[in-house]
Structure 1
Amino acid sequence: MMNENKYDYLIVGAGVISLTIARELISRKHFCKIAILEKESDIAQHSSGRNSGVLHAGFYYTADSLKAKFTRDGNFAMRKYCEEHGIRINYCGKVIVATDEQELQGLEELKRRGDRNGVELHWKTEDELAIIDPNVKTYEKALYSPNTASVDPVEVCKAFRDEIAQQGVKIFYNTQYLKHNGNEIHTNNGTFTCDYFINAAGLYADQIAHQFGYGKKYTIIPFKGIYLKYAKNKTDIITNIYPVPNLKNPFLGVHFTKTVDNSIKIGPTAIPAFWRENYQGFQRFKLNEFVQILYYESKLFLRNSFNFRSLAFEEMKKYSKSVFIGLSLKMVKQLDKDGFGQFLRPGIRAQLLNKETLELVQDFVLEGDNRSMHVLNAVSPAFTCSIPFAKYVVDHIEEKRGLPN
């Protein structure tokens, strides 16, 4: 008798990475049986559905990084996918502004990285910048990225879901991974068996990987990202406006985002969280996570790794609406500070920490063998990167399994 819960590929997590991996597997193996296990009642309930929706261009990252290649290629692929599937996209572009002479050096480094990565970036004087968005303020000059755009991430994920569902991929909702025994995957909704297991569980990817013997030197440290909506109108800001980031850490600083419907928001924060789904109050509190994460955050604080101490203090201040708004006002000529509304739904960044060096891992991490593959660090801009990154993951799976690409 045929086992109905037997699959060629079993993927954990129904975020954008899982959906695009399933899509890529289908494109190569037309007759394979694929299922996705999702502990929530719908897709994209965590990072994939709570991110800014910005399609990044790929100039923040060093040329030898996976992020550099996949962001550049992913930006093009995602824009093309949206156009072909009738998904809303806002071609609003992005400017990166400086506040002083020192930050001009940061802009120069971004331009060098953009050039090495083959990303279109243009210098703009203050007068030229006024043509793009007359409200933007910068010191002497700014960088302009014409290929940065905005989408609704949930809308995109639903399109991927519908596409793979038509090809026979099953998604089991309210089905949480518990443990594995060989090729048997035990969940709260019964046992599944698979020829190959793919872990794309986001905030819990490290814990699952550890059960398979992978990612032992890593742990997830969650950071809470909060946005604040500018409720007065949709016209005071025309483009995405970003500050010069500290390139030693993976956070881009508080910036203005133009959403797919032209709304304006500022954010995000990068506030250290105390458990993995620490979205609001004590919802989803887990004592074991709290103890483990507090242990590592205490070590980071005491040793001040990657300036964690000052980062934590500065980020905690952003719980104050006035502080948060004040940071954004540095990048514009005028804006009604009383025009901001409420904080929007928060997201959690599943940031990988190297437990040995106490450094945040800046690039994607993939570990696995001929039985399983584990996506350990699919952080921003993973949404932008998802289509080419999925190809990379499946390439590695086929290589580990000895299959022809």
Structure 2
Amino acid sequence: MLIIKYYDYLIVGGGIIGMSIARELITRFPDESICILEKESDVAHHSSGRNSGVLHAGFYYTANSLKARFTREGNQEMTQYCDENNLKINKCGKIVVATDENELQGLKELKNRAEKNGVELKWINESEVRLIDPNVKTYKKALYSPTTSSVNPVEVCQVVKAEVVKNGVDIICNTQYKGISNGEILTSSGKFTCQYFVNAAGLYADKIAKDFKFGDKYTIIPFKGIYLKYAKNKSDVVTNIYPVPNLANPFLGVHFTKTVDESIKIGPTAIPALWRENYGGLRSFKFNEFFSILFYEAKLFLNNSFNFRSLAIEEMKKYRKSYFTNLSLKMVRKLDKDGFGQFMKPGIRAQLLNKKTLELVQDFVVEGDNRSFHILNAVSPGFTCAFPFSRYVVDEIVDKQGGKLEEIREDIS
């Protein structure tokens, strides 16, 4: 194999996280050579281009979590980035509704978390709900998030791509990571060498990490997220409408999303997938992945960890269009149940599982040393968090390199 090129930083994964890390690195170290390797024909082919497009505000997460911090900051930064780059953004807000007295307690918990996280979240009564969106139905009161917005994730990723390339980052597509040997990175396009390796491979981050002796206690369990478009019109819903979530798991339940073009969609599902790119049919089917993932999903089912059994059964029901749509109708006063069109392009959520405790890891997880760094869990809302999370990652990388890069630059200056 030919050694193609040496880079100071070599990043595997051309999603929003990999590109944001490259963006942060080139900003801090403009004289360093940086490259992103992407196995697809362009960036953002997987989670980064298939997510809801919602910029979350940051009130779902416990105050001591990285997600709480990065979502709050990321919402502000991504909103500003879209404004500065004339990107489409729908600043329509979000209403979280309750269906009964018990769910009011869930709203109180969300409000409490918002206050601890420094996130704006307002109590509104039924009359105030109707002023924001006349079609929203809630029990007594609801929560309103004015800073929740919707963007086009593919459009955002393309602008970030153009920015980093303009600033000197190489992006090499159609190049798949194959392994490491004698310090050389093996790919489908040949060998690469680097001073520092960054693993931002999303669905395959755990497998790559193991080549570097990291992430041994974790594995990725993929969950398929599907949305259904409301085809009748764009006016029956004017804001994002969410239910009270089960905070014991990382999924927010079926909700209404108002997109950048004012369209309406419901979803997503969180259906356990059987291989990592199990978007539909047998495309990208991988025999070894199937048995490995099936093993852990069977284990979760038998042990009923985090109520996985009922979660899996409930999610599988959502393949039935009538069942799926009926879940959404609980949150609105009136909607034509026959007005929904076809299921939209699915996405796969790369969800980290602790193999020992059989728990879904709900926060960011990173591991690394002075030669490599691995983003093992950049779970939702990773897109919202991308910019501040990338700063955190680069801080960690510099620290693990002993701060040598910064010291060298200080000496030079």
| Bin for the TM-score computed over the shorter chain | over 0.9
Partner of 1:402: 402
Instruction: Name the residue aligned to 1:57.
Output: 57
Structure 1 residue 379: Cα displacement:
1.0
Partner residue, 2:187 = 187
Cα distance in 2, alignment partners of residues 315 and 21 from structure 1: 34
**For the Cα contact (< 8 Å) 1:41–1:174, is it kept in 2?**
yes
How is 1:200-239 mapped onto 2 (pairs within 5 angstroms)? 200-239=200-239
Structure 2: segments with no counterpart, 5+ residues: 408-413
The corresponding residue for 1:371 is 371
Q: Does 1:66 align with 2:58?
A: no
Matches of 2:343 and 2:183 in 1, distance apart? 44
Q: Which residue of 1 aligns with 2:33?
A: 33
* Shift in Å, 1:183: 3.1
Task: Give the secondary structure class of the aligned counterpart of 2:377.
Answer: coil
Q: Describe the SS at the equivalent of 1:8.
A: strand
Alignment partner, residue 291 of structure 1: 291
Rounded Cα–Cα distance in structure 1 between residues aligned with 2:309 and 2:164: 44
What is the alpha-carbon distance in structure 2 between the residues aligned to residue 381 and residue 156 of structure 1? 15
Moved over 6 A (4+): none
Distance 1:118 1:65 in 2: 13
Paired residue for 2:89? 89
Counterparts of 1:3-402 in structure 2 under 5 Å?
5-402=5-402
Whole-Å Cα distance in 1 between the matches of residues 229 and 315 of structure 2? Answer: 18
* SS in structure 2 at match of 1:394: helix
Contact 1:39–1:176 (CA<8 Å) still a contact in 2? Answer: yes
Quote the Cα distance in structure 1 between the aligned partners of 2:134 and 2:75. 26
Query: How many Å apart are 1:203 and its aligned residue?
Result: 0.2
Question: Once superposed, what is the RMSD of the aligned Cα atoms?
Answer: 0.8
**Structure 2 CA distance, aligned partners of 1:76 and 1:19?**
19
- Confirm or deny: 8 A CA contact 1:74 1:386 kept in the other structure: yes
Amino acid at match of 1:8: D
Aligned counterparts of 1:272 and 1:368: Cα–Cα separation in 2: 29
Does the CA-based 8 Å contact 1:183-1:195 persist in structure 2? no
Cα distance in 1, alignment partners of residues 73 and 197 from structure 2? 26
Distance in 2 of aligned mates of 1:84 and 1:128: 32
The whole-number CA distance in structure 1 between the counterparts of 2:18 and 2:220 is 18
Q: What SS does structure 2 have at the residue aligned with 1:389?
A: helix
CA distance in 2 between partners of 1:184 and 1:164 (Å): 25
- The CA deviation string for residues 4-26 of structure 1, in whole angstroms up to 9 with x for no partner, is 51000000010000000000001
Counterpart CA distance in 2 for 1:179 and 1:157 is 27
* Aligned equivalent of 2:411: none
Structure 1 unmatched runs, 5+: none
- Greater CA deviation, 177-186 or 356-365? 177-186
Instruction: Give distance in 2, aligned partners of 1:17 and 1:284.
Output: 23
Superposed displacement of residue 166, structure 1: 0.4
Equivalents in 1 of 2:211, 2:183: separation in Å? 13
Contact 1:15 1:44 in 2 (8 A): yes
Counterpart AA for 2:355: K
Paired residues of 2:26 and 2:168 also in contact (CA < 8 A) = no
- Give the AA of the match of 2:82: C
SS of corresponding position for 2:250? coil
Q: Tell me the amino acid that sits aligned with residue 46 of structure 1.
A: H
Q: Secondary structure at the match of 1:376?
A: strand
Distance in 2, Cα, partners of 1:355 & 1:188: 30
C-alpha offsets along residues 308-342 of structure 1, whole Å, 9 cap, x if unaligned? 00000000000000000000000000000000000
What do the CA deviations read for 1:241-289 (whole angstroms, capped 9, x no partner)?
0000000000000000000111000000000000000000111100100
TM-score (normalised: structure 1): 0.99
* 1:54 counterpart letter in structure 2: V
Letter of the structure 1 residue corresponding to residue 40 of structure 2 = E
Q: Which amino acid aligns with 2:163?
A: E
Question: CA separation in 2, counterparts of 1:159 and 1:181?
Answer: 34
Q: Report if aligned partners of 2:56, 2:75 keep a CA contact under 8 Å in 1.
A: yes
- For 1:194 and 1:329, locate their aligned partners in 2 and report how far apart those are by CA, in whole Å: 53
Cα shift at 1:182: 4.1
8 Å CA contact 1:13, 1:201 repeated in 2: yes
Say if 2:219 and 2:352, in contact at 8 Å, map to a contact too: yes
The amino acid of 2:261's aligned partner reads: D
Kept after mapping to 2: 8 A contact 1:23/1:164: yes
Q: Is the 8 A contact 1:183 1:196 kept in 2?
A: no
Tell me, yes or no, if the aligned pair for 1:254 and 1:266 is still in contact at 8 Å. Answer: yes
Give the match's secondary structure for 2:253.
coil
> C-alpha distance in 2, partners of 1:307/1:282?
28
Task: Please state whether the residue corresponding to 2:178 is helix, strand or coil.
Answer: strand
Paired positions, count: 403
Structure 1 Cα separation of the partners of residues 59 and 159 of structure 2: 27
Take 2:18 and 2:362, find their aligned partners in 1: how far apart are those partners?
21
Identity of aligned residues (%): 70
CA distance in 2, matches of 1:272, 1:30: 42
Q: Which amino acid aligns with 2:107?
A: L
